[in-house]
Structure formats: C-alpha cells, structure tokens
A and B are shown apart, each in its own frame.
Chain A
Amino acid sequence: MADQKHRILMVSDFFFPNFGGVESHIYYLSQCLLKLGHKVVVMTHAYGNRSGVRYMTGGLKVYYVPWRPFLMQNTLPTVYGTLPIVRTILVREKISLVHGHQAFSTLCHEALMHARTMGYKVVFTDHSLYGFADIGSIHMNKVLQFTLADVSQAICVSHTSKENTVLRSGLPPEKVFMIPNAVDTAMFKPAPERLGNDEIIIVVISRLVYRKGADLLVEVIPEICRLYPNVRFIVGGDGPKRVRLEEMREKHSLQDRVEMLGSVPHAHVRSVLISGHIFLNSSLTEAFCIAILEAASCGLLTVSTRVGGVPEVLPEDMIVLAEPDPSDMVRATGKAISLLPNIDPQQMHNRMKKLYDWHDVAKRTEIVYDRALKCPDQNLLERLSRYLSCGSWAGKIFCFVMIIDSLLWRLLQLWQPTEEIEEVPEFTLPRHQDEEIISNFN
C-alpha cells in the first residue's frame, strides 16, 4: 500500500506570491510529497499578472487560474463557474485525489464540490478557528458543513482546531486527523554567536491588526519598558493598528527603545528574529501559529497568549504562556526574562529539528491519502442523503446545488468528451536523476 503513488491536486486561493501559514503549508507539503515520489499539482487563482501555468522548485506545477480575487485574496463565489477548468485540470493531470486548504477559500470549496461530483476522493485541511456567535461565522460554518458533508477525510492543524472543526461541520471525529504545521529548520537557524545578556531584545513580528492582539501590545510594551530598563523592542509588521503603536511610543517617549520596522518580507524574518532574545506573540485567536515555530527554531524563548492551539505547539519549557490580558503578559515576560540565562539557542534549535519536520508531516498526510482512497465509492443518491441531513432548509439547498452540478458535469462530458482532453506527458526532473546518480555513485 505504501508503494502506491498518488497524483494530488492541492487547491487553495492562498498560495505564493502571498505569504502566510496556509501558503507555506501547501508549499512545503507539496515539496515533501514530491520527494516521496507522488505527483503534486497546485491550483490557485491568478495573482496580478502571474497567470497560467508555472513551475516551482522540484518541478511543482502550479496552475494560476485566471480568476481575479475580489475580497481578501478570495475569488468571487460563482458555485459552478470553475467546473470546466477544474474538470480539465483533473483529467489532464490524471489526478487521483484532491486536497483543498483553508475554509475561507471559495476556490477550494468549489473545486472540492466539483471533484466529488466527478467521483474523486477529496481531503480537506482546515487552518483556522471560527466562533459560533456572529453572522459571518454562522454563514462560514454552513459552507464548511456543505463541503465537509461529503469529504473523504479531513485534516486539522491542532487538537483545538480539530474540536472546532468537528463542532462546526458535524463530521465524525474519527474522520478528522490532526497533522500540525512544521517549520523549515534549515531556514531558521540561530545566530552563529550568542547575543549578550546585558541588553534584552524582545521581537514582535505579526500583522498589526486587532486579531493579532496589537492592542495588547500597546498596553504591554510601555509597562515592560518601565519595569525592565535593559529591555528593547523590535516590532516588525504593518497594519491598521501601527498608528496606535506609534502613538504609544511617542506618548511614553520610547522612540529609542521600540524600533518599528514596518512590514518584513518573509525572506528577512530570520535576520530580524536572530537579533532578539525573546519572541512575543499577542494573538487573540490562533489555530496553530507558525511564527512561534520560526522563532523557537531561531533559538528565541517565546512568550505567547494562551489562545486556540498555541498551548499545544511547544513543550512547556520552550514557551511562557499568559492569559490575554496586559498584566498577565507583563508577568509572563518577566518570567521569560528570568529564564533567559538558561536558554541555549543552539540547543533549542536542535530540539526543534526533532520536534517538527515537514517530511514527517508529508508522511502523516500520505497515510490520510491512503485512507481516503480506501473509502468506498458512492453513487449520487447515497451522497445526496448525506447532504439532506445537514439541516431542514440547508440540506435541501445543498442537494439542489449538487444535482445541478452533476447535470452540468454530464453536459460538459457531452460537449467535450474526456477522451478529447489531452493528457500531460510524464517527465521526471533531471535534477532528481542527477541526485540519484550521485547517491548511487557514492
């Protein structure tokens, strides 16, 4: 079974050139799956003039579908608009399994729906947490329920995220796998020389928005600066709350102790991280938080709010947790400062290497793919009954949507028979062959 190679299509609205947790998850997972011998194709929407087919490192093929994003990098939800192109890609690339990422991605939902209509096995990864109270969440949860009603297997990035997804979608918990994100420890190495301990530098790198707790920072930074005269802050990131931070800096005359870098390109994150001792994360909600892993991999001690999946991310001795309220965060930072002399960045980095590895993530995802492919095939009627159980009104709407989708698919099959779609020729990257030759040689 392990020898069976999959042909996987990753679908999400979020991919390079955008940067974030989902983007890097898809990229690294795809790279590691390619190394395991599977074929991986990524489908996302066009970014600026980046449209059409591109190849990335390791022969990762990316389809930038020419649909324009309309809101927060999301494509316009057209429900059926993407059916022809999804079908063409699935047939052309002889895909065996579709893997969608992120619950807000409309492209992901649509592609999963079409893939199910065409009888493919689908896997969905949820990267975010959602509440249950406001109208936005209620709508999103219904959409998620629709997609997950017929998904073969689902993956969540933390146990908290799994609980959340199970509650939101009504999926049986044994169908939901917990596979965390990881960090590329080779990219995030600690500084070659240990920093001196006479001046303590606290690094913050996050988008300066409400959800990332920028308002907490405004309260916490002056208090820490008052209590610990040898502390300096480096704040990287931009956003609507930046003005508030700058106001705070002026009000407390901390211009020489709080450095604001503005937005930091992902390639420069390491260089900012290694200039500090402590990483401060003030998020108000977080499913996983890759930023903490990057900081820990650079050998920084992390102080974070105890929200969402954050407590699961690192062992207790590598992170100091605080309640999301200013006084407790100041206490936690004080504790972190007192722990600093016992922290060896190189040792921390070595531990992180053992704790997180993208190859491990890829192997665990492979198991999920194997399970998904073992799921029995179902005909339309059996699947419709599952949609119908989603709710008294929603169930009927879902069924209707799926019936129309199948009809459109049949129509497309008549209009452009599968045999007429040209299949992509196979090729193996020469670089891989070279590596093999070299390894054989040795």
Chain B
Amino acid sequence: MDNIISESLLRRNWRKVAYGGMQPGFDDNHTDESFLEDMVMNANVVKRDILKVMQDSVSISQYLCIVTLVSLVWAHTLQSTLDENSLLLLDASLFGSGFLVLLLTKEMRSLNLLFHYILNISFFTTGLYMLAPIYHPLTRSISSDSIWAVTVTLVILHLFLHDYSGSTIKAPVVLKNPSLTSCVSLNASVVASVFIASRLPSRLHVFAIMLFSLQVFLFAPFVTYCIKKFSFRLHLVFSFGLMAVTLALVYTLHHLLFMLLLGFLVFISVVCPYWLIRIQEYKFEINGPWDEAKLCFNVTD
C-alpha cells in the first residue's frame, strides 16, 4: 500500500510552485528541464547599418567644428588680429543668418514668434552690455597660463557632456527638461567664454566676444537642429562645408592642430562607427520574468 502511494507521488510531475512545502521526490535544489526556459536573449537588439551610423556621426563632427571655430575666434582676438569692430560685425551677421535659417526652416512662421525672439534677444544683449564692465577685470589677478588651462578643460568638458541628440534650447512650445549633463555642459561653455573675455583689452571687446560665444553656444545647436529637421541633405552639405572651412582656418593657424583636428574628425566619423558595428556582435541582452514590468502608459509627475 505504502509503495503504491509513494510511487504515485513520485510519478507526479515537478511543478514550478513555491507553496505546499518540499515537493515529494524532489530536493529543493532540483533543477527542472524548464529551468530558464522563459529567458529571452537579445530581444530588443537593433541591427545597425554602418552608413547610417556614419551619417549620424556627422552631427558630432559638425559640433566639434563649431566649437573649434569659436576657439579660433578667441585665439585671433587674444592675438589682436581681430578688432572689436569686425567682431561686432561677426555678431550681427551671425544673428542675421541664424534668424534667416530659423525663418526658412520653421513650419510656423508667425510675426508674433519673431517679435518674441527679438524682444528676448534685445534683453539678452542689453544685459550682456551692462555686465561687460564686470567681466573685464574679473581674472586680472590670475595668470594667463592658468586661464588657458582651465578654459581648455572646460571646453573639453563641454564637448564631452554636450547633448548631441537634439538641441539644448527647445522651441517655446516644447516643455522638456534638459538633462543634468547638458546643463553642466552649457555652463562649462559659458564659464569658458567669461574667462576668455576677461583677458581682453577693452570693454567693447569683452562685450563682443561674450555675445559671440553665447550666441554660438546657446543657439548653434538649435539652428543646426532646425536645419537637420528641415532637410537631411542640407544638413550634410552644411556640415561638410563647415568642416572644410574649419580645417582650412586651423591650417593657417597651426599645422599640428590641423593634424589633430583632422585625426579627430576621421576618428569620429569613420573609426567610431566601424568600432560600434564591430562590438555589436558582443551584445548580450537577457530578459525574463524577473525584469521589472514596464508601464504601458506615461506617468506624469
């Protein structure tokens, strides 16, 4: 009788349950054939195409060129090869071209929005003009070497943390909080511009260079983003043009820097994409019942 009962118990299949004590005939460390059968590997892996990745990397090269151009203007101003009048002219032309790009690429062209922008920018410019006398003697007690070292570090930090996915300044309609890193990056660039501006001989210089740097750091990502959204081909043409101009200008300044920049551009747009594609095969993603469930609706806090 006992034999029959124990046999019938033994014949009972192992079940994946936690209740009812130890399952007869099976130890607690029993590993069933069904062990890990719900595991899914590499479910969300996207196959990447090298050409697409290279095209996407152009945005990064483009921004690197923009920052290099700003640094070039800084260098020329500090060497006094660029005077304040040409700087102001540069500012004005940048404003003009920026607006033109915005007007041409934006879908909603309203006079109201334009007025809004102009008002904001005039406030911004006036504020900067009034602050220029403060910036001017700011770092007089610090040696130029230290300022250069800090500025270079800040610019590198800015490039590292910059949000390349979109633009840091969003259109007024979009209410999306920028990430912490993009804020740090923006602030690093502003501090770097203040440091450079404080080494200049006159207040007008300070104003002009600050206006120029802030224009680029604040609005260039937005403008390039608009161009990219408007037409990808235009974005590519613009980027390659920018790269050519930057390389040419850097070549006139310093040959070693030219090699360095060229190396960087090749690294970003050729080596990195190839590398990314190569390491894709090591991708190993595990999903299973232990994963935290994703909510199928948006949570607004």
Contacts and interface: CB of A to CB of B under 8 A. Distances in A.
Contacts of A324: 293, 295
Given A163-B36, A163-B39, A355-B19, A364 B289 contact: no
A174 B299 contact: no
A206 interface: no
Contacts of A345: none
Contacts of B18: 157-159, 178, 180, 288, 309, 312-313
Contact of A163 (B19, B22, B35, B295): B35
A175 B29 contact: yes
Interface in A140-158: 157-158
A213 B294 CA distance: 10
Given A160-B289, A284-B292, A364 B297 contact: no
Contact of B289 (A133, A166, A307): A307
B290 A130 contact: yes
B44 to A, nearest CB: 9
Nearest to A174: B29
B201 interface: no
A129 B27 CA distance: 23
Interface string A273-295: 00000000000110110000000
Interface residues of A, number: 52
A215 B290 contact: no
A284 B293 contact: yes
A132 B285 contact: yes
A364 B22 contact: yes
Nearest to B297: A219
A324 B289 CA distance: 12
Contacts of B292: 131, 211, 284-285, 307
A251 interface: no
A285 B293 contact: yes
A364 B36 CA distance: 23
B295 A284 contact: yes
Contacts of A348: none
A314 interface: yes
A367 B285 CA distance: 35
B290 to A, nearest CB: 4
Interface in B23-66: 27-29, 31, 35-36, 38-39
Interface in B252-286: 285-286
Contacts of B293: 213, 284-285, 305, 307, 324
Nearest to B22: A364
B301 A368 contact: no
A190 interface: no
Contact of A161 (B27, B290, B291): B290
Contacts of B17: 159, 312, 315
Contacts of B295: 215-216, 284, 324-325
A29 B292 CA distance: 28
Contact of B36 (A157, A167, A180): A167
B295 to A, nearest CB: 6
B176 interface: no
B17, B20, B292 interface centre (most CB from chain A within 10 Å) = B292
B43 to A, nearest CB: 11
B285 A244 contact: no
Contacts of A132: 285-286
A367 B31 contact: no
B288 interface: yes
B21 interface: yes
Interface in A171-190: 173-180
B5 interface: no
A12 to B, nearest CB: 21
Contact of A131 (B20, B28, B31, B290): B290
B16 interface: yes
Nearest to A153: B29
A234 to B, nearest CB: 23
Contacts of A215: 295, 297, 299
B39 A173 contact: no
Contact of B301 (A131, A244, A356): A244
A357 interface: yes
A59 to B, nearest CB: 27
A354 interface: yes
Contacts of B29: 173-178
A284 B293 CA distance: 5
Interface string A337-364: 0000000000000000011110010001
B117 to A, nearest CB: 36
Contact of B297 (A313, A326, A367): A326
B19 A364 contact: no
Contacts of A357: 21
B296 interface: yes
Contacts of A308: 289-290
B300 to A, nearest CB: 9
Contacts of A130: 290
A164 interface: yes
B93 to A, nearest CB: 45
A129 B297 contact: no
A325 B19 contact: no
A55 to B, nearest CB: 31
A154 to B, nearest CB: 9
A161 B286 CA distance: 15
A185 to B, nearest CB: 13
Contact of A160 (B286, B290, B297): B290
A29 to B, nearest CB: 14
B19 A367 contact: no
B24 to A, nearest CB: 13
Contacts of B299: 210, 215
A258 B18 CA distance: 33
B21 A167 contact: no
Contact of A167 (B285, B286, B301): B286
Given A178-B18, A325-B296, A354-B20, 17 more contacts: A131-B292, A133-B285, A157-B18, A161-B290, A164-B288, A176-B29, A177-B29, A210-B299, A284-B293, A305-B293, A308-B290, A312-B16, A312-B18, A326-B297, A355-B21, A360-B21, A364-B28
21 contacts: A131-B291, A157-B18, A158-B18, A161-B290, A163-B39, A164-B290, A177-B27, A178-B28, A284-B295, A285-B291, A285-B292, A307-B289, A307-B292, A313-B18, A313-B19, A315-B19, A326-B296, A355-B19, A355-B21, A356-B19, A360-B22
**Which 3 pairs of residues, A with B, have the shortest CB-CB distance?**
A180-B18, A324-B293, A129-B290
